[in-house]
Amino acid sequence: MHSFQAIGRAAVVSAVLAVASVLSACSQAKSPYVFSAVTSEITMDGEAVVDVRLVHEPTGKAVENAVIFETRLDMSPDAMGAMTAPVEAQGSPEPGVYRFKVAPTMEGRWALTLSAKVQGVDETITGTVVVTAR
Ligand SMILES: [Cu+2]
């Protein structure tokens, strides 16, 4: 009898785990709005510019007039997340592309993390692109 109860309990536990993993997959569902780097390499001369494209992936359309309200540049890709450098938004050189002036302080990979609002979309759009400073 004991062993049957144990099996039953194990089945319940695995069912709960299965539901939990489905839920966590849902909460990590990918936003349809995706940032991608147009620039992949930047220089160390203090005049580096990073262009980032924002696309609504299901339609493939460039997203214009996004309001980028938060930026962060750090070296998290090279395990130096505490090392940050200045970022200055420079507007949009073409529809759906957003430009940032950055000043990396060290060679290596830098993550530019952006938070944006798009008209008609409730959720905040966030994304990270990685560029390499040489
Ligand atoms: Cu560093």
Quick: pLDDT tens for 67-103: 999 999 999 999 999 999 999 999 999 999 999 999 9
- Candidates 76, 63, 132, 80; CA nearest to 102 is 132
Compute the distance from residue 49 Cα to the ligand 1 centre, in Å: 18
Contact 122, 102 (CB under 8 A): no
Assess whether 66 and 86 both reside in one domain: yes
The boundaries of the domain holding residue 24 are 1-30
Is residue 67 located within the same domain as residue 1? no
User: How far is it, in rounded angstroms, from Cα 131 to Cα 51?
Assistant: 10
Are residues 24 and 38 part of one domain?
A: no
pLDDT tens, position by position, 51-61:
999 999 999 99
The rounded Å distance from CA 108 to ligand 1 centre is 7
Number of domains the chain contains: 2
Statement to judge: residues 92 and 42 lie in one domain: yes
User: Model-level pTM?
Assistant: 0.78
Model confidence at 15, in pLDDT bands (50, 70, 90)?
A: low
Q: Which CATH number is 92's domain given?
A: 2.60.40
CA 30 to centroid of ligand 1, rounded, Å: 29
Tens-digit pLDDT profile for residues 21-35: 554 555 557 889 999
Q: Are residues 97 and 54 in the same domain?
A: yes
CA 60 – ligand 1 centroid, Å: 34
CA of 123 to the centre of ligand 1 (A): 32
What per-residue confidence (pLDDT) applies to 7?
55
Tell me how far the alpha carbon of residue 33 lies from the centroid of ligand 1, in angstroms: 29
